Structure 1
Amino acid sequence: MTGEEVQRSTLPIPDQRSTVTTTFDAKDPDTTFPPIAPLRPPKGAPNVLIVMLDDVGYGASSVFGGPVAMPTAARLAAGGLKYTRFHTTAMCSPTRAALLSGRNHQTVGMGGITEMATSAPGTTSIRPNTCAPLAEILKLNGFSTAQFGKCHEVPVWETGPTGPYDHWPSPGGGFEHFFGFLGAETNQYYPALYEGTTPVEPDRTPEEGYHFMEDMTERAIGWIQSEQAMTPDKPFFVYFAPGATHAPHQVPKEWADKYKGAFDDGWDALRERTFAQQKALGIVPPLTDLTARDAVMPAWDDMPEELLPVLRRQAEVYAGFLEYADHYVGKLIDAIDQLGALENTLVYYIIGDNGASPEGTLQGTFSELISINYRGDIETPEFLASKIDDLGGPEAYNHYALGWAHAFCTPLQWTKQIASHWGGTRNGTIVHWPARITDGGGIREQFTHVIDVAKTVLEATGIPEPSTVNGVTQEPLHGTSMSYTFDDPGAEEKHDTQYFELLGNRGIYHKGWSAVTIHRYPGLPGITQMTQNFDDDRWELYDGSTDWSQAHDIAAEHPGKLAELQRLFLLQADRYNVFPLDDRKAERLNASIAGRPELITGTSQTLFPAMRRLPENTVLNIKNRSFSVTAEVTVPDGGVNGTIVAQGGRFGGWSLYAVEGALSFCYNMLGVDWYRVRADSTIPAGTHQVRSEFAYDGGGLGKGGTVALYVDGEVVATGRVEQTHPFIFSGDETTDVGAETATTVSGDYDASDSKFTGRISWVRLDVGDDSHDHLIDPEYAYHVAMRRQ
């Protein structure tokens, strides 16, 4: 089924009943039936590879004037096209939902991160079945489909082991194969991985050379090779979404060391240097001005002298991480080329799903978990200096300072999270397709947006937009095919209107003009947040024909034009599910108030031995209160070791376990302090009930408490925990029964040695009625949520 006679507007394509005359006997010479023809796309349809990096600002890559060498990007740009005005949504979940659906992010329910979903249509985090994703459309037209890497689009209440899996990449997202992680980030050395919907573990340790970027690349190469070997006439669609360069910035040391000294003069000098290079490359028009640094961002010269070596190393590690990611994208491209398939592969290399991330605080952090839990007091200049050699390695969970994020967005205003300004939404993008694009090395300046990708792919493959999918009438794609720019650098711009909105930050682009307003700064300690009503937000106006970078606000000179664009924003926002605007804080974190399902409620939860890889939001919250952990275990004659239950990992969490037969409890405080309580005697052979009780001190958030360990109701040990996590244990580590995945809480053993050597019947968590969560400042809670995206 490859001919144009195939009707493709209704998906799945209806099976056609044979209309030939049926004979009585198959041996009859008149017995003829057409051969079975596997479904294939229209003849000549290209393979499709979409590469989307994470948290990379416009001014980071060397291809777009930045300091970080990206030879693969340069290679693809030399044979393809550079798009200098390609735009995203300013945040990962919304950008990815828009990319994969071809519709604006609020239309597919992704008006924010999944953890802040509400019942309003634009922020449910649920893609409507009226908006079938690109992968589903391609699969139902005969493509092989696979996703590798990050997926942060699954509703949080569906991320547990019971699903449902309707919104996972496979099967619900249209991908036949998925290998990667759920959520905003993962530890690059100890990732929380899934193959399909099944948790899997890395096949080697960091000491043995493991890094997720290499692993996902090898998996993608293997999948493509198998697909091409078995069905060479069947095109593939691969969505390749590394965790790079989202924090934690983790990369082998030799890659970071390539940039030693490259950032010694600081982020303000880097902006000037990058800007000059961008002009020299023609990436920005000659009359472009460098935008000013906002007053809430510190100048390099204002940073404490004792912090400067750490700040420089943060940038070196980040640059090494970005080049390392590009290196493995190159491995993937090479593998496709070696198969002879690169000529007819449409490659999108989108260098960032939003601007560079401001979430590393004003000074950067050794461990994101420290800053997310608002314990910046731990990360003194002396502490950070003591950790400088660990940055980028398995012992760190590091992120750079805000000033670097702004510099990596040169020449634009602002960063990730700020949907109003180009620093949050403009990302350098390369399109490479030798069979179709002949202007290798060309630059394209037309306004384009992430929702344009799906439309372009369908046009390139000759597949029409479906009118119905699985019996459901479809919402038309919102984007504009970019193919009109392939042959003509001067083609008149077709995508001439686009709204932007996230977290109340708003903007509208229309025929060269942009009107924008900031409602909230990035949520960071040290930045005084704005608190005005939406109607009191101050709008800015920019004329893109003379001001490429949004450097000169001319709202006062053109009030009529500003009013025209403000009205257009309202019309676009109403059309695409943007309303109601929502700047609530703690309310959006409370599932019952926000109106989203909550997987775990009540004060008790029972877990069983097969339950591992449980995300934090699928387990009873034991923070800021008293809690107990009870388990029934059977100990063999030779004694027992290993994990009974653990939550978190190396950078924070708690664990109930046995060491040399002795019942033990560990509270790991942010990977900085470990509080251990251990019995002097061993658990006897046989079946027993073991329990740990934590009595919270009270008096606020993150306080300490006393621990008592029991075996069959008898106290066997007591101890103290001096401080606890007030907000989260981890961005990616999980709760595990019977063994730990990824890294271990206590450090008394590795994950490979953590399996409980006895038998566990059940584990029960119980929380007390002394919760102090009501003391959480709504602004703090909001910041915590935003820094997990």
Structure 2
Amino acid sequence: MKPDRHARTMLPIPDRQVPGLTTYDAKDPDTAYPPIEPLLPPDGAPNVLVILLDDVGFGASSAFGGPCETPNAEKLAAGGLRYNRFHTTALCAPTRAAMLSGRNHHSVGMGSITETATSAPGNSSLKPNTKAPLAMTLKLNGYSTAQFGKCHEVPVWQSSPMGPFDAWPSAGGGFETFYGFIGGENNQWDPALYNGTTPVEPPATPEEGYHLTEDLADHAVSWIRTQKALMPEKPFFVYFAPGATHAPHHVPKEWADKYAGKFADGWDVQRERTLARQKELGVVPADAELTARHDEIPAWDDMPDQLKPVLERQMEVYAGFLEHTDFHVGRVIDAIEDLGVLENTLIYYIIGDNGASAEGTVNGAFNEMANFNGMAALETPEFMRSKMDEFGSPSSYNHYAVGWAWAMDSPLQWTKQVASHWGGTRNGTIVHWPNSIEEKGGLRSQFTHCIDVAPTILEAAGLPEPTMVNGVQQSPIEGTSMLYSFNKPDEPERHDLQYFEMFGNRGIYYKGWSAVTKHRTPWVMTGGGLVAFDDDVWELYDGSVDFSQARDLAAENPEKLHQLQRLWLIEAVKYNVLPIDDRTADRANPDIAGRPTLIRGNSQQFFPGMGRLSENSVVSIKNKSFSVTAEVEVPEGGVEGVIIAQGGRFGGWSVYVTGGTAKFVYNVLGIQEFATVADTAIPAGTHQVRMEFAYDGGGLGKGGDVTLFYDGDEVGTGRVDATQALVFSADETTDVGYESGTAVSPDYTPQSSRFTGKINWVQIDTGDDDHDHLIDPEERLRVAMARQ
């Protein structure tokens, strides 16, 4: 192996011209320059594929003893290593930010998700430029880099079409190619997609067989093949992060039907079966205990009989979704094998970015936005039964019940968001690298964490941790390389101290011991008062003899507990965890939370063609009176199409024209639709079309009266009996002159939604109406200038 000629601790690597003879005439025989060589990492650096699934608990996949078949994970594990004590942060964006930087999630500003960012350094959602992402380090060392799938690390005020794009994967993130989505979740049938920073539409419809996971795999396979065809000498770094199996649980029906009847005995029995299978596989110790069900989680036998068929179907859909995801992960791995480069490809298959999600309520949800808006009561058992056959289909936005999430974390306590207990943070992980891992099918039980991935990849590639990136001095990586464990199963663990915190749930691991305290319950979105942090009850576990945290030793060993509690505080100070923040509604308000916002004042103007605007990019019309005014030009013969729409099939509103007549529809969670139609068609020519909503007041989510106007003249009235108080959608957007994603109203489809006339402008005004139903040019200018 020839010595590496680059000094790689400073990135980009400085260009250094070798001094020598400079001739006058290029034809002079003494003219000589070394050939231009492309930048490459050190000899032997492997290709790298990091696969990160979403919301998969430790006990879900068959590779770790679960009921959901994952044959490709099993195949990879048979040729590599299973890690049964690999940990995440208990939530998606923090895990991703930590994994991609090699630093703890509060160190890179991602104490929780971007939507609840505050001005505190550990919760700002802003990654310091002193902590360059792994992809950037690899790219600047000669790797080809690409990401496919989910990116939930963009601060919400930077997620509009105007950026800035510093935190987007293909800009500041270091990935030369990005195809996927920005945000926490996406509709698998009708996703909001980006190619780089440019919004793109899915290449097909659900009716044509489209599914997001398949699309992502198609792009990943194509990119890998192209990279090896054009740059075979360069290794690649591919980050494949499908939105699966995050809710909504969307999968073709035949995949769910494979599991028909397999969950009829419920979640309590399923946990027992899973633990037995885990012991057979050896992925948990033979003496591992099944942790008890907490009172907050209902027993299967206590669930209403009329709901049980729905609950079974929820789990069948989820299991099919996970198997379907593993199938498409297998396609990516197969493409690498077909190219003959699998032997020197380091693969991480991380089965979940946190524990299983318990955000679907104790009954599950046909539309999970119901719970997010405090309206879960709308989804009665009768309603759920009526929708049972639609779970997983394009007409659903579904999630499974809390009990299933708990079962998918077997044999551990709790679920996603609960960073205190292993049910929230322990995720089965497989590492495969035939060139450098001697044992096939081995098990590794050293404590590891998602911040260990980056330093492992750097060590495997023979690359130093950079001290300077883009002119900024770098802080040390906080993770520990796992490479030492690849061929030494009994080597003592090197990562022996790790804090955990999420929404006040917190814990500390130190040399086998863990001290933990659960502060809040994930599925309680509203109400449910919290105790003071100092009144939280701490538990103590000895991991050397208690794999699952089944035996609390706090009463028996108070000194050890106090030692670890003090250590948690020290680590919390070190990594910007303080102040602990368990607020919910307050953090949803950017003014209170202290994060920037694109929206100021009570008016906003839009222009034709603007679209893919997230809820954080649009003035909020929730829980208040508002009006929508548009100046449109109507051709002879009439007009059709959307003027402006926010949200989609599972909640939102739209002002549009059908049959030449203006119409306003408010869609509550896809369950209730309230429509107001004008009495007459819009005449040909230039006109102002206006919709006014007069909010009833008296609390959140109330109704109101609707009035439609043409040029200030009333042309229709109607009523909205209820509204969505907090959020329309996690992935649907606001569009002007068309509607992307799914349609708010069945009167049109996204494909038929384009406005056939001309829209000059649209304006949303919030607050009480002043009864001036026309907006003059001077008023529009005032609104525009007020937003500068």
Q: TM-score range by the shorter chain?
A: over 0.9
Q: Give the residue type in structure 2 aligned to 1:711.
A: Y
Partners of 1:108 and 1:122 within 8 A in 2: yes
Instruction: Tell me, in whole angstroms, the C-alpha distance in 2 between the residues paired with 1:673 and 1:497.
Output: 51
Partners of 1:519 and 1:530 within 8 A in 2: no
Look up the match of 2:772.
none
The sequence identity of aligned pairs, in percent, is 65
Look up the match of 1:784.
none
Structural mapping, 1:441-520, within 5 Å: 441-520=441-520
Look up the match of 2:706.
707
Please give the per-residue CA displacement for 1:138-175, whole angstroms capped at 9, x wherever unaligned. 00001111111111111011011111000111111111
| Alignment TM-score, normalising by the size of structure 1 | 0.96
Q: Give the residue type in structure 2 aligned to 1:516.
A: V
Structural mapping, 1:213-252, within 5 Å: 213-252=213-252
Instruction: Tell me, in whole angstroms, the C-alpha distance in 2 between the residues paired with 1:336 and 1:120.
Output: 43
Q: Equivalent residue of 1:679, what SS?
A: strand
Partners of 1:625 and 1:698 within 8 A in 2: yes
Look up the match of 2:774.
none
Q: Equivalent residue of 1:306, what SS?
A: coil
Instruction: Tell me, in whole angstroms, the C-alpha distance in 1 between the residues paired with 2:516 and 2:224.
Output: 43
Look up the match of 2:629.
630
Whether 1:548 and 2:547 are equivalent positions in the alignment is: yes
Q: Equivalent residue of 1:149, what SS?
A: strand
Structural mapping, 1:27-426, within 5 Å: 27-426=27-426
Please give the per-residue CA displacement for 1:408-461, whole angstroms capped at 9, x wherever unaligned. 000000000000000000000000011111211000011000000000000001
Please give the per-residue CA displacement for 1:21-73, whole angstroms capped at 9, x wherever unaligned. 10011110000011111111111111100000000000001110100110010
Look up the match of 2:781.
none
Deviation at 1:727, TM superposition (A): 1.3
Q: Equivalent residue of 1:343, what SS?
A: coil
Deviation at 1:261, TM superposition (A): 0.7
Q: Equivalent residue of 1:377, what SS?
A: helix
Instruction: Tell me, in whole angstroms, the C-alpha distance in 1 between the residues paired with 2:381 and 2:641.
Output: 37
Q: Give the residue type in structure 1 aligned to 2:486.
A: F
| Alignment TM-score, normalising by the size of structure 2 | 0.96
Deviation at 1:530, TM superposition (A): 5.4
Look up the match of 2:661.
662
Look up the match of 1:577.
576
Please give the per-residue CA displacement for 1:117-153, whole angstroms capped at 9, x wherever unaligned. 1111111100000000000000000111111111111
Instruction: Tell me, in whole angstroms, the C-alpha distance in 2 between the residues paired with 1:177 and 1:524.
Output: 39
Look up the match of 2:22.
22
Q: Equivalent residue of 2:352, what SS?
A: coil
Q: Equivalent residue of 2:307, what SS?
A: helix
Look up the match of 2:756.
757
Q: Give the residue type in structure 1 aligned to 2:727.
A: I
Instruction: Tell me, in whole angstroms, the C-alpha distance in 1 between the residues paired with 2:11 and 2:420.
Output: 37
Q: Give the residue type in structure 1 aligned to 2:652.
A: G
Instruction: Tell me, in whole angstroms, the C-alpha distance in 1 between the residues paired with 2:672 and 2:2.
Output: 63
Instruction: Tell me, in whole angstroms, the C-alpha distance in 2 between the residues paired with 1:59 and 1:585.
Output: 29
Deviation at 1:668, TM superposition (A): 1.0
Q: Equivalent residue of 2:621, what SS?
A: coil
Instruction: Tell me, in whole angstroms, the C-alpha distance in 2 between the residues paired with 1:517 and 1:594.
Output: 25
Q: Which moved more, 1:374-383 or 1:729-738?
A: 374-383
Question: What are the ranges of 5 or more consecutive residues in structure 1 without an aligned counterpart?
Answer: 771-789
Q: Which moved more, 1:326-335 or 1:718-727?
A: 718-727
Partners of 1:251 and 1:320 within 8 A in 2: yes
Instruction: Tell me, in whole angstroms, the C-alpha distance in 2 between the residues paired with 1:453 and 1:377.
Output: 42
Instruction: Tell me, in whole angstroms, the C-alpha distance in 2 between the residues paired with 1:461 and 1:639.
Output: 64
Q: Equivalent residue of 2:715, what SS?
A: strand
Partners of 1:521 and 1:530 within 8 A in 2: no
Partners of 2:8 and 2:464 within 8 A in 1: yes
Please give the per-residue CA displacement for 1:736-774, whole angstroms capped at 9, x wherever unaligned. 00110011111111101101111111100001149xxxx
Instruction: Tell me, in whole angstroms, the C-alpha distance in 2 between the residues paired with 1:491 and 1:686.
Output: 79
Q: Give the residue type in structure 1 aligned to 2:329.
A: V
Deviation at 1:735, TM superposition (A): 0.3
Structural mapping, 1:597-746, within 5 Å: 597-746=596-745
Deviation at 1:602, TM superposition (A): 0.6
Question: What are the ranges of 5 or more consecutive residues in structure 2 without an aligned counterpart?
Answer: 770-788
Q: Equivalent residue of 1:406, what SS?
A: helix
Partners of 2:447 and 2:495 within 8 A in 1: yes
Partners of 1:41 and 1:142 within 8 A in 2: yes
Deviation at 1:5, TM superposition (A): 1.3
Please give the per-residue CA displacement for 1:229-273, whole angstroms capped at 9, x wherever unaligned. 111111111111111000000100000000001100000000000
What is the Cα-based RMSD across aligned positions, in Å?
Answer: 1.3
Deviation at 1:639, TM superposition (A): 1.6
Instruction: Tell me, in whole angstroms, the C-alpha distance in 1 between the residues paired with 2:671 and 2:114.
Output: 30
Look up the match of 1:437.
437
Partners of 1:2 and 1:39 within 8 A in 2: no
Instruction: Tell me, in whole angstroms, the C-alpha distance in 2 between the residues paired with 1:475 and 1:502.
Output: 23
Instruction: Tell me, in whole angstroms, the C-alpha distance in 2 between the residues paired with 1:698 and 1:449.
Output: 48
Q: Give the residue type in structure 2 aligned to 1:611.
A: M
Q: Give the residue type in structure 1 aligned to 2:226.
A: S
Please give the per-residue CA displacement for 1:345-382, whole angstroms capped at 9, x wherever unaligned. 10000000000000000010110112221222211111
Q: Give the residue type in structure 2 aligned to 1:385.
A: R
Instruction: Tell me, in whole angstroms, the C-alpha distance in 2 between the residues paired with 1:567 and 1:716.
Output: 68
Instruction: Tell me, in whole angstroms, the C-alpha distance in 2 between the residues paired with 1:684 and 1:42.
Output: 70
Q: Equivalent residue of 1:288, what SS?
A: coil
Deviation at 1:317, TM superposition (A): 0.2
